[in-house]
Chains A and B, each alone.
Chain A
Amino acid sequence: MREVHIAGAAVHPFGKSRGKTAADLGYDAVTRLLTTTSIGPDLIDVGYCGSSYGGSLLAQRVLQRVGVSGQPVYTVENACASGASALHLAWQAVASGAADCAVAFGTENLSGFGGGALPLTTNDIEIELGLVMPAAYAMRAQRHLHDFGATEADLTMVSIKNRRNGAANPRAHFQAEVSADQVENSRPVADPLRLLHCCPNSDGAAAVLVCSSDLAREIGTPTVRIRASVVRSGRFHTSYRDMTWPDITARTAEAAYEMAGVRPSDLDLVELHDAFSIAELLHAEALGIAARGKAHRAIADGEFDRDGRVAVSPSGGLLSRGHPVGATGVVQVCETYWQLTGQAGRLQVPAASVGLTHVTGGGIYGVDNGACAVHILTSD
């Protein structure tokens, strides 16, 4: 397998973009990417688009507008891991030698669905009984609090930290801090989760340029290396399941650590799939950056702050940046690219050289999640 690098990143800011389609948002991000890397469309061998709700042939509808037409392009659907799955396929193409240069992007417009919980897959025995994603995470939260002694105040601390981080991020949907009072008095969604324990449905897009070592040198932009790129699906069964231990995250991360030759203690920053505040506790433990049942302690002690032991979601995470489903896995990598190349500005984690990104999602019965992706990036 060849070394694979990221030689550029670009984002259409997350938030509400009612007048723009997913294709418009993706076009904006890809155009910014080609401008910032000063490359032409002919250099791109293959393109991958991640999106859950953008519709058929979205990759073509975006890439042909910038002159990438004729090349193979693909639209990838893997729920919240759609964008990261697109990146994984781009990594495969370059690592295998099938391509020297690939563009991976994710784009989504969720404004069209209005407010409330997103529509989930139909013909599912849990969804037909009224299960929504906040309720699924709420039950994990109830059990985690029950088993490990964390409290609702610990969930609130996750929201406060990530909203504080995102307040400095010009690409974030929410760029304002929140107080404990605001979180605790926000509207109940699914006990014990309140509105400010949940990420917003957002519109947005993100793109990265993935290339070989030779081409990265030729392009001459700052680069990071992809040390690991791993996607896993949920293990399906209908028996007892420990819902405080997201097995899909643990399996994906373990494979990524092995591929990268990196340990959890080597990480300077993690962009984590905090779709709900409880998710940061569950996944931090499964990623191995906190001991089992102790993630709430790490947060209370400031270990996940931007200047802490390992910065968790220094960009603000999903709670602040928002969650345009298919774009999230790519924007995490964009944010980490800027961190590892020293371009993160007010978000900069001091001396960051090793970062991990994590997305997991997809609500279907019988699995933790439908799909999970982990990438490990280093500054050289």
Chain B
Amino acid sequence: MSEPLLRVRQAKKVYTMGDELVWALKGVDLDIYQGEFVAIMGSSGSGKSTMMNLLGCLDIASEGSIAFAGQELSTLSKNELASVRNQRIGFVFQQFNLLPRTSALDNVTLPLLYSNVPEADWISRAKQCLESVGLGSRMDHHPGQLSGGQQQRVAIARALINDPLMILADEPTGALDTHTGLEVMALFQQLNQQGKTIVLVTHEPEIAEFASRKLTFRDGELISDERNQHIRQAADEGVA
């Protein structure tokens, strides 16, 4: 097999709570390849988010190594990590994390502010991304004027703006109703088919059914890693 997009070896993460040490990750080995759709599952407190933050360069491992596209993350400076997040990774959060009182269009262009993309291209790019998530007609709306599902789609458009290698989503359907959650999953599946690597954290087994690979964490350890034999297709379940 070719070189993995993400290569995790004995990754550990420890937090200090007062004078107590909390091992959120206790030595994880993991390879994720370009084009995979990975669901990370596990009960609350099992270390899913911690893993995701390490993969997304939002945090650094206490021990072990993580290589992203061949690049060892522990050797990168803050600025280089920022640049990786900007260029290679798109984030989608449970609470959408859009800037309030800011139009959908401006929210989507936010990552471009920290990139080298010429400003002349910003609007057209953002429009394209919003159209690809089906929000071409809502570009001037502020988050307050959009439904939860629409807000999450704006967030996905924002994640796509720099054409990243990988999209990381932490409980992206957690704040949505089932139907809207399905819409969002359909979008992720569509993006995955277009070649984006997707890593999705969820504690809902039904949501994990849409992924091609399921990882399960418990107490900071990766306890199962299985290929999904029966991938559910969100688009087939009555969602446009």
A and B part of one assembly:
no
